[in-house]
Amino acid sequence: MTAASPWPSSTRVPNIAYFLTRNARRQPDAVAIAYDGQTWTWAQFDARVGALAAALTGELGLRRGDRVLVQSANNNQMLEIMMAVYRAGLVWAPANFRQSPDEVAFQCGTARARAMFVEAGFAGHAAACRALVDHVIAIGGMENALDYEDLLARHEGQAPDNAAVERDDTCWLFFTSGSTGRPKAVALTHGQLTFTILNHISDLMPGLGMSDSSLVVAPLSHGAAAHQMAQIAAGAKSVILPQGRFDPAVAWALVEEWRVTNMFTVPTIVKMLVEHPAVQAHDHSSLKHVVYAGAPMYRADQKRALQTLGPVLVQYYGLGEVTGAITVLRPEDHSLSDGPEARPGTCGVERTGIQVTIQDDDGRLCAPGETGEICVIGPAVCAGYDGDDAANAKSFRNGWFRTGDLGHMDAQGFLFITGRASDMYISGGSNVYPREVEEILLTVPGLSEVAILGVPDTRWGEVGLCVCVAEPGATLDEGVLRQHLEGRVARYKLPAYFVVLDEMPKTAYGKITKKLVRENLAARGLIPAPAGAAV
C-alpha cells in the first residue's frame, strides 16, 4: 500500500489580475496608463477593471472559462478588457484588428466566444460575428451593441475579487499568425503566463520597477500583451502610441515626454525608428531596453541601431506557443564588432527555465553546428492548441514542442536560426536556406529590405527569386546585386531572378513573412499562385 503524499495536491495560483490589485494598493495615485492625451492612475485602472469584471459575470452572465473576443486597435480599453477577463476567470481571445470580417468571424467561431468587444469603425466585423456571440460591446458606440462606457458606469464602484484559478486554467487564446494556413488557437494558462511574466522581467528587462515607463508600439492582440503584463506586474506605466500609421516622430516625442525606459517591437520598426531624423531631435537617454522579436534583425540594421541608441538592444526569439520565451540576446551580447565574439546572426541563449535542442527528422539530437529543427521544453510552453488534436500531435514529440524553425547551436549554446522549415527550398538536390543569402545582400548600399523565395524551375526543381526594396532615393541594379554575391555563397544558392518592390508586404505586426510576399507576387502575376490561394 502506497502512503498518501504529505503535500497538498492543489495547483491553485494567483490570478494574473492580482498584479493589478497589488499595484492599486501600493501606488494608487501613480500613472498606470497614458493614451491619447489622457492618463489613468493605478486606482482608476483597477476600478474600471473591477466594474467591467462585475458587468461580465453579472449583467452579461458569463461564467468561468467562457471566451471573450476582442476586435480593436491599441487603446486603454484593450488593457482594461484583458485584465477584467482574467479577473472574472474568463478567457481573453484578441483578434488581429487588421484582418477581414470573415477572418475574425473564423476566429470567433474557433474560440466559441460568448461575448465580443469591438471598437467603433469595425461594424462589419461585429456584423460578421453577431450571430456567433450572445453579447456585442462597442468601444466608442455602435448601433445594436452595448456601449462600453455605459456598461462600466452601471457597475461603477463594484469590486469583485479576482476569480480563484488553477495553474492550468486557460486564460488567453493566442491566435497564431497563420503563416502556413488558418490561424490556430494556442491555449495559454495562468501558470504559464505567470512564469513568462517573471521570465520577461528577469531575462529581458532586469530591474524593471515602478519608476519605469514602457512605450506600447506593437499590437496588444499579440506578443505586446505579454510585454505589457510584465509592466503591470512590475508596476511600470504603459504609454500607448496613438492609433493610425506608425510615426517615428511621435514615438520619439513620447519617449522624451514620459522618460520611456523600454519598448517592445519588431526589427522593421526598430529600423524605422533609428533611420528617422526625429531620433536626433528628442532625448532618448532614458531608454534601457529596446526589445525586439518576431524575426531576426539583419546585421547591418543591428549595427546601425547600436550606433544610434547605444547598448540597449535586447533580442528574444520565441513563438506564441512558447509565449515568446525561448532565447534571449542581452545587451552585452550585442556587439558593433564583426569579430567571432559578436556571433553575427545569433538570437542568443536559452531563457531561464527553458531547454532548447536541435533535432533531426527522427527526433535525434544534432551535434553543435548541425542544422535541424529547433525544439523546446519548459514552463513557457503552451498547453496545446485549443480543440485541435491533429495540430497537437504534429507539434509535440516525446514531450518536446517542435517550433517548425530550422537552426543550429554552437558549442556555447548560442542559437542561430536558419529559417522556417517552409522557407527552405531544394535546388538541384541541395538545400538552400534563404537567410544566409539575405544577410549578405543587406550589406549592399541602398538596399533596405530583402526576401528570397524558392520558385519552381524545370531544370533544377526550384531556384531562388529575390525580392528587394530600395532605401528612399536609392536605385537597385540587378548586376550589382549579383556581383555582390559572387564568391560569397555557392553558385546553387544564387537567386535566379530579382524583383524590386516599392514596399515589402508585412503582417499586421510589422513582420515580413514569405507567405505574404509570395501572395503579393502571385497577385501581380509574377509567380504561380500558392496552392489553394485565391488571387
- With beta carbons less than 8 A apart as the criterion, state whether 383 and 195 touch: no
Mean pLDDT of the 437-446 span = 88
Please choose, from the candidates 330, 252, 324, the residue with its C-alpha nearest in 3D space to the C-alpha of residue 289: 330
Q: Which residues contact 130 (CB under 8 A, 6 or more apart)?
A: 116, 136, 144
- pLDDT of 531 reads 43
Using CA atoms, how far apart are residues 353 and 379, in angstroms rounded to an integer?
7
Who has greater pLDDT, 192 or 492? 192
Query: 297 pLDDT band (50/70/90 cuts)?
Result: confident
Q: Which three cell numbers stand for residue 512?
A: 515580413
Q: What is the pLDDT of residues 338-390, one digit of tens each?
A: 877 778 888 999 999 999 999 999 999 999 999 999 999 999 999 899 999 99
Mean pLDDT of the 479-502 span = 90
Mean pLDDT of the 271-279 span = 95
Using CA atoms, how far apart are residues 279 and 532, in angstroms rounded to an integer?
44
Please choose, from the candidates 317, 262, 314, 315, the residue with its C-alpha nearest in 3D space to the C-alpha of residue 284: 262
Give the H/E segment covering residue 35: strand 31-35
Integer CA distances (angstroms), 373 to 112, 131, 409, 421, in order:
33, 42, 11, 8
Site of grid cell 558593433? 336
**Its pTM surpasses 0.85:** no
Q: What is the DSSP string of 131-177?
A: GG-SEEEEES--TTSEEHHHHHHHTTT--PPPPPEETT-EEEEEE--
- pLDDT of 535 reads 27
Q: Which residues contact 4 (CB under 8 A, 6 or more apart)?
A: none
Q: What is the pLDDT of residues 185-212, one digit of tens each?
A: 999 999 999 999 999 999 999 999 999 9
Who has greater pLDDT, 241 or 7? 241
Please choose, from the candidates 344, 345, 368, the residue with its C-alpha nearest in 3D space to the C-alpha of residue 356: 368
Domains of the chain listed by start with CATH number: 12-241 (3.40.50.980), 424-523 (3.30.300.30)
Mean model confidence pLDDT for the chain: 91
Q: Which residues contact 41 (CB under 8 A, 6 or more apart)?
A: 28, 29, 30, 31, 32
Query: 114 pLDDT band (50/70/90 cuts)?
Result: very high
Q: What is the pLDDT of residues 225-253, one digit of tens each?
A: 999 999 999 999 999 999 988 999 999 99
Q: Is the pLDDT of residue 326 over 50?
A: yes
Integer CA distances (angstroms), 279 to 187, 274, 275, 445, in order:
39, 6, 8, 22
Query: Can you list the positions of beta strands (E) in 225-366?
Result: 237-240, 262-265, 289-292, 313-317, 327-329, 346-350, 355-359
Mean pLDDT of the 402-427 span = 86
Using CA atoms, how far apart are residues 142 and 138, in angstroms rounded to an integer?
6
> Cα dihedral angle (300, 356, 320, 379), rounded to 10 degrees?
-140
